Amino acid sequence: MNTTKATRHVNQNEGLIFEKSSPGKAAWKLPPLDVPEVDVDVALGSSARKDLGEMPEVSEIEIIRHFTRLSTWNYAIDLGMYPLGSCTMKYNPRVNEVVVRLDRLANAHPYAPEKISQGAMRILRVLSDALIEITGMDTITLQPAAGAQGEMTGLLMVRAYHESKGNARKKVLIPDSAHGTNPATAAMVDYAVENLKSNERGTVDVSALASQMNEDVAALMLTNPNTLGVFEDEIHKIADILHAKGGLLYMDGANMNALVGKARPGDFGVDLMHLNLHKTFSTPHGGGGPGSGPVACKQILEPFLPSPVLISKPDGTLGFDYDRKQSVGRVRAFYGNFGMFVRALAYIFANGPDGLRQTTEDAVLNANYIRKGLTGTFDLPYSTPSMHEVVFSDKLQNKNGIKTMDLAKRLIDYGFHPYTTAFPLIVPGALMIEPTESESKEELDLFVEAMKSIAQEAQQNPQTILDAPHNTRISRLDETAAARKPILRWKRST
Amino acid sequence: MRYLPKSPGDREAMLRTIGAGSIDDLFSPIPAEYRLQRDLQIPRQMAESEIVDWFQQRARENGEGCTVFLGAGAYNHYRPVIIDSLVSRGEFLTSYTPYQAEISQGTLQAIFEFQSMICELTGMEVANASMYDGSTAAAEAIMMAVRVTGRNSAVIARSVHPEYQEVVKTYATHQGLPLNTVNFGENGRVDLQALEQAITDNTACVLIQSPNFFGTIEDVAAIADLAHSKGAMLVVSIAEAISLGIVKPPAEADIVAMEAQSFGVPLGFGGPYCGVLATREKFVRQLPGRLAGQTTDKNGNRGFVLTLATREQHIRREKATSNICTNQALVALMANIFMTVYGRVGLRELAKQNLAKAAYAADHFGREAKVLFAGAPRFHEFVVQTTEDPSVINSRLLGHKIVGGFPLKRAYPELGNASLWCCTELTTRSAIDTVCGLISEYEETAKTSEPRMQEVAQ
């Protein structure tokens, strides 16, 4: 191992919180009650609870140490490059975290009268306008809680649109390179999924599309750039084929980080799309969420937006319109993940038009730099130009018995988070690398050096890779045992 | 741009290495006619100080220092400061889904503890890592019941949060899933006779909320018996998690669909919040969402992994239990820390204060106006019926920096001039006394002017 980035991970032991609990310890203190106490048994009768079982009893310092120690077992963007393809792990600006905690934003009740919610609604409006301009669409809903829910909202709108024309249609076309949420979403809104094969360039096979397209097809769900990081350069033909038979073009905006400020889906024939504010617009991934999945669309789909819709009133104030006859309904309570809106808007302000364009350019520059650095060392199954991410395969390492997940585990020893493994499905043994714009040339050089070093190890000492990671607190975990006899909660051992 | 770690020289050097003449070469796969040749029309790049200033202005427009009596699915509780200290740690904030277990043990162990505490509190055997919110958790619970039972319809209590009902309807509409609603009785609880009639042998589940939207605690055991006697599952939605400190857990339920916002999550104008699903072990393979499980590494060390992934979209695609991918992890961590801070004794004491404040308030409101749904226990919300329209009352109260109860007319027109009031541990006695005094005045005026208005009308 010969890169300067390689490092040991923190190794402090820490048990489960339940193992630190003992009766009488406490981290809480309530003020004295200023109203008469209530006899719980009298007030609640048979609904009264007797005790809270094994809930922990610990002091404040123990809680601080517990979670601080746990935190040190996590890798994070703040520690280094996190090149998970299709996840866009970019820097999460700290000013976002400050403004979202401003008292009257953090403590705004969703049902507070409109008169004292104008500031919050102004944030919704300004963010909506910015996202509409960025996507080249006509209107937007911010309600969906994450990308997958955005997809569901979008397909519900597709269905409602077709129903309004008298025929809901039966199926949705999805390329074989698509993210798993796409087919899962289609199933949730009761559309059959029809697979669309990619061509030898890794893009949509336009002639196959033309032959599969008919009046039963409600929409094509297309990720662009697709999961190979390749821009669908025949997008205008794709849109024309769809539209000629009355179908709609839905774009999964997971890879919008390749386009912001450089190209707008609304300009190249997309009818509706979702954005992932936690990817493209820098809201923190938080160990798996929360996200936010606004859906932007063309005017023809506006009547079907989820209810309520933000409106400007004649007196210049903002309000919500709940009276939406053709709406697909509500997809979640209240108005969406407002905290993510605040953060995304702060990010847009920090960038402005020039910053957003430079961001996109740097994201694409970084991916191509890695591609250049690793081509030859790793197999590049599709030579089509890359945008914001590059997908290699483990083919060259297979002959030494090494698979993509093994390489990924070894990369951990070099101090990086692994890339996305084994996806997209059209590339057997995929290494899907998305550096984002947040990496310096120095960090990229270290990454390339680490990957090359691992490739060398694969030839010279494959066992080192198969046993990796070596420098973490724990080694590879037995996932089979975890699934066979699931232990999903702590229980006091008897 | 201050977030971008490159000098112009770096960019040039990198382009040279790649062999590209200019950055535009790298964008040549995008057909020229679709490449944007102008600046986006969005606000110009701002300094950090300007950003803070802009949001402070918006915060000011949001009204200042009001006493809030709103609940209705979003509750104002004190948030211990260590929650933000801990969730602001970059290792939690800026990591992602713990697919690489060896360098995600912090998130994984935290999820495992979260699942354990949710089980402890709800009386269920397994809980997932989180759902988007309480409303989508309820909708996913119904779809889960459909998969488990093979039946194809659901019964929903009208006393479930109206927005949760709307979300359930959105999810169910295209699943070919008919929904029957069941009304509430005089005491605000589910009408058991109507419920019995509504359940058929095609009913996958009954969805109730307890404490329900009116703050009334349902007779979960009796409803469970009814549902189970006809082979249907019982889904209990809990919108106010603090109630679990003092209200018997719905152990008779088959699925609990929760909103954990009350556990240390800011009101934040409605989100992000934290849904959770909990259920019986035997149903775990139909449970949507992520699950952390305990296992060991090759040296026998305890560790945690995401498990039973064959339920999920990235493996099963269109045959998955749900399309959910990103969840509410960081918000679940807030809830986790909150539950740890209050723990076995504190949660109970906290819930007791909420109960006492609402009992005091309901008693005093009852002297000025009509408090509906007596005769069944309630937690910290209650419905008040006034002579005047609550919206009129609320706009007057706003003049006194008080935000009154949530008007129920849109969802429950039959209740007339009713509104839903909430007190938590943060509601002071003096605020309750003040608002009761004002309501008393308004009612007095309204009652005396009403006959006169009628005379005028005649």
Output the pLDDT for position B180: 97
Instruction: For residues B319-334, give the mean pLDDT.
Output: 91
Per CB-CB distance under 8 Å, the chain A contacts of B430 are 34
Where does the pLDDT of residue B64 fall: very low under 50, low under 70, confident under 90, or very high at 90 and above? confident
C-alpha distance from residue B179 to each of A348, A478, B69 (Å): 42, 43, 32
Kindly state the percentage of chain B with pLDDT values over 70.
98
Instruction: For residues B412-423, give the mean pLDDT.
Output: 97
Please check whether residue B11 touches A, CB under 8 A: yes
Query: ipTM of this predicted complex?
Result: 0.96
Please check whether residue B251 touches A, CB under 8 A: no
Q: Could you say which of B74, B350, B355 has the minimum Cβ distance to residue A109? A: B74
What pLDDT, in 10s, does the model give residues A416-427?
999 999 889 999
Domain boundaries, chain A: 74-472
Per CB-CB distance under 8 Å, the chain B contacts of A71 are 86, 89, 91-92, 106
Output the pLDDT for position B378: 96
> Per CATH, the architecture of A74-472 is what?
3-Layer(aba) Sandwich (3.40)
For residue B370, what are the β-bridge partners?
B385
For residue B203, what are the β-bridge partners?
B153
Nearest CA in chain B to A179: B314
Is the Cβ pair B58, A56 closer than 8 Å? Answer: no
Nearest CA in chain B to A334: B270
Gap between the Cα atoms of A14 and A72, Å rounded: 11
Nearest CA in chain B to A335: B270
Of A429-443, B29-43, B171-185, which range is least confident? B171-185
Gap between the Cα atoms of A371 and A390, Å rounded: 6
Least Cα distance to A252 among A284, A282, A219, A281 occurs for A219
Is omega for the bond preceding A428 within 30 degrees of 0, making it cis? no
Task: Give yes or no for a contact between B45 and A351, defined as CB atoms under 8 angstroms apart.
Answer: yes
Is residue A490 predicted with pLDDT exceeding 60? yes
Q: Are strands A248-252 and A272-274 parallel, antiparallel or unpaired?
A: parallel
Per CB-CB distance under 8 Å, the chain B contacts of A476 are 102, 297-298
Is the Cβ pair A364, B27 closer than 8 Å? Answer: yes
Is the Cβ pair A184, B320 closer than 8 Å? Answer: yes
Gap between the Cα atoms of A30 and A5, Å rounded: 48
Half-sphere exposure of B62 (CA within 13 A, CB side): 26
Please check whether residue B116 touches A, CB under 8 A: yes
Instruction: For residues A12-29, give the mean pLDDT.
Output: 95
Identify the H or E element spanning A193. Answer: strand A192-196
Is the Cβ pair B297, A475 closer than 8 Å? Answer: yes
Task: Give yes or no for a contact between A305 and A272, defined as CB atoms under 8 angstroms apart.
Answer: no
Nearest CA in chain A to B31: A233
CATH of B82-339, picked from 3.40.50.1000, 3.40.640.10, 2.60.40.10, 3.40.50.720, is: 3.40.640.10
Gap between the Cα atoms of B401 and A361, Å rounded: 50
Is the Cβ pair B62, A329 closer than 8 Å? Answer: no
Q: What is the DSSP code string of A286-341?
A: TTT------EEE-GGGGGGSPSPEEEE-TTS-EEEE---TT----SSSTTS-HHHH
CB interface of B with A, residues 36-65, below 8 Å: 36, 39-46, 48, 50-52, 54-64
Gap between the Cα atoms of A330 and B132, Å rounded: 14
Gap between the Cα atoms of B202 and A168, Å rounded: 26
Kindly state the percentage of chain B with pLDDT values over 90.
90
C-alpha distance from residue B333 to each of A67, A338, B74, B167 (Å): 10, 18, 18, 25
Is residue B454 predicted with pLDDT exceeding 60? no
Per CB-CB distance under 8 Å, the chain B contacts of A229 are none
Where does the pLDDT of residue B326 fall: very low under 50, low under 70, confident under 90, or very high at 90 and above? confident
Q: Could you say which of B48, B57, B341 has the minimum Cβ distance to residue A27? A: B341
Q: Could you say which of B82, B246, B353 has the minimum Cβ distance to residue A49? A: B246
Output the pLDDT for position B323: 87
CB interface of B with A, residues 365-424, below 8 Å: 377, 394-395, 398, 403, 406, 410
Where does the pLDDT of residue B456 fall: very low under 50, low under 70, confident under 90, or very high at 90 and above? low
Is residue A4 predicted with pLDDT exceeding 80? no
Q: Are strands A390-393 and A171-175 parallel, antiparallel or unpaired?
A: unpaired
CA distance A440 to chain B (A): 5
Task: Give yes or no for a contact between A436 and A444, defined as CB atoms under 8 angstroms apart.
Answer: no
Token pair 């104030």 in the structure block, residue: A317
How many interchain CB pairs under 8 A, A with B?
689
Chain A interface mutation, best of B318, B319, B423, highest count of A Cβ atoms under 10 Å: B318
Gap between the Cα atoms of A367 and A313, Å rounded: 46
Please check whether residue B121 touches A, CB under 8 A: yes
Identify the H or E element spanning A188. Answer: helix A181-188
Least Cα distance to A213 among A234, A238, A181, A185 occurs for A238
Chain B interface mutation, best of A474, A485, A491, A493, highest count of B Cβ atoms under 10 Å: A474
Domain at B67-73+343-457, CATH class: alpha beta
Output the pLDDT for position A493: 84
Is omega for the bond preceding B178 within 30 degrees of 0, making it cis? no
Least Cα distance to B261 among B132, B438, B440 occurs for B132
Q: What mean pLDDT value characterizes chain B?
A: 95
Local structure of A221: helix, strand or coil: strand
Is the Cβ pair A115, B61 closer than 8 Å? Answer: no
Output the pLDDT for position A264: 98
Domain limits, CATH 3.90.1150.10, in chain B: 67-73+343-457
Q: Could you say which of B63, B132, B169 has the minimum Cβ distance to residue A149? A: B132
Least Cα distance to A5 among A391, A448, A405 occurs for A448
What's phi and psi for B429, nearest 5 deg?
A: -60, -40
Q: Could you say which of B36, B104, B166 has the minimum Cβ distance to residue A329? A: B166
Instruction: For residues A58-66, give the mean pLDDT.
Output: 97
- The beta strands (E) that lie in B297-401 are given as 302-306, 370-371, 381-385
Per CB-CB distance under 8 Å, the chain A contacts of B121 are 52, 55
Local structure of A391: helix, strand or coil: strand
Q: CA torsion A393→A397→A401→A406, rounded to 10°? A: -60
Is the Cβ pair A332, B136 closer than 8 Å? Answer: yes
Is the Cβ pair A115, B23 closer than 8 Å? Answer: no
Q: Are strands A171-175 and A192-196 parallel, antiparallel or unpaired?
A: parallel
Per CB-CB distance under 8 Å, the chain B contacts of A332 are 132-133, 135-136, 167, 271
C-alpha distance from residue A10 to each of A144, B102, B106, B298, B406 (Å): 37, 12, 11, 19, 50
Task: Give yes or no for a contact between A214 and A419, defined as CB atoms under 8 angstroms apart.
Answer: no
pTM over 0.90: yes
Is the Cβ pair A287, B295 closer than 8 Å? Answer: no
Kindly state the percentage of chain A with pLDDT values over 90.
96
Gap between the Cα atoms of A301 and A299, Å rounded: 5
